[in-house]
Amino acid sequence: MVQVLICTHEEMAVGVKKTAEFIMGPQKNLHAIAAYTDEHLDYQKMIAEFLAKHSSEPVVVLTDILGGSVNTTLGKMLDQYQNLHIISGVNLPMIVQLLLSNEKTLDETIQKTIAEAKNGIQYVNQTLTKQTSSLSDDF
């Protein structure tokens, strides 16, 4: 089973995990580490312990900012943990897609997850204007 770890600065990881589980119900393979909080002050050690615990299964870590300290810390662990896969720019559609995906390979799952997450980012004003225009053209 693929383990999904959301790891972000401050409480974002915990909040997004709670929201995903509000929508999908409890997920035994969804975890969160809120770096730089009192509870997760030594987040680097927590990540290493998590990866060691799940060394026999793939781990996909979702981070908040590409090049941020959390993302960079994880990037330095790639050589040590062959089961580690990192995706930056975490958002709720990404988590839902990743947990629901039934692609044949993890690589396909990750690619589809990223595509769906990007597709979920829309300027709604413009999207609704285009839809309204399209409906008007039909009549």
pLDDT at 127: 87
Query: Helices 12-24 and 92-100 sit at what angle, rounded to 10 degrees?
Result: 50
Secondary structure percentages of the chain, helix, strand, coil, to 5: 50, 15, 35
The enclosing domain of 128 has a CATH number of: 3.40.50.510
pLDDT at 119: 92
pTM across the whole model = 0.90
Residue 87 has which token pair? 């995706």
Strand locations in the chain (E): 3-9, 30-35, 59-63, 84-88
How many domains is the chain built from? Answer: 1
Q: Give CA–CA dist 4/85, Å, rounded.
A: 10
pLDDT at 130: 79
pLDDT at 40: 83
List the pLDDT tens digit at each of the 139 positions of the chain: 999 999 999 999 999 999 999 999 999 999 999 999 998 889 999 999 999 999 999 999 999 999 999 999 999 999 999 999 999 999 999 999 999 999 999 999 999 999 999 999 999 999 888 777 765 565 5
pLDDT at 139: 53
The whole domain housing 110 covers: 3-138
Q: Give CA–CA dist 85/106, Å, rounded.
A: 9
